[in-house]
Amino acid sequence: YPREIEEFLYRHPKIQDVQVFGVADDRYGEELCAWVRTRAGETLTAEEVRAFCQGQIAHNKIPRYVEFVDEFPMTVTGKIQKFMMRQQVEDRLGLKAAKTA
């Protein structure tokens, strides 16, 4: 569940906000992606985020893709649009879902 991983990542002192969602993967069907907003004045790398997770949560729950953003796509009522985030990542990285027989 993405919420479980988000709750864990909120413990990182440099992370202000985070959204976790699945993106297409041709081998596993889906991989995890995290969009991270860092606290003002802080810097963070994808490797640091993964290292923070290492040994703390299950290996398959560690996001494969970590991206740093200034804001999340929102509806006019303030709801985060994870489907837009997924689409942007898949388009940018050229990700495709696994072929099913």
Task: For the chain, give every domain's residue range.
Answer: 2-93
pLDDT for 8-33, tens place per residue?
999 999 999 999 999 999 888 899 99
Is the model's pLDDT at 82 over the cut of 90? yes
Is the model's pLDDT at 61 over the cut of 70? yes
The model carries a pTM of: 0.90
pLDDT of 27? 86
Is the model's pLDDT at 96 over the cut of 60? yes
How far apart (Å, rounded) are the C-alpha atoms in residues 76 and 78?
Answer: 6
Is the model's pLDDT at 97 over the cut of 80? no
CATH topology of domain 2-93: GMP Synthetase; Chain A, domain 3 (3.30.300)
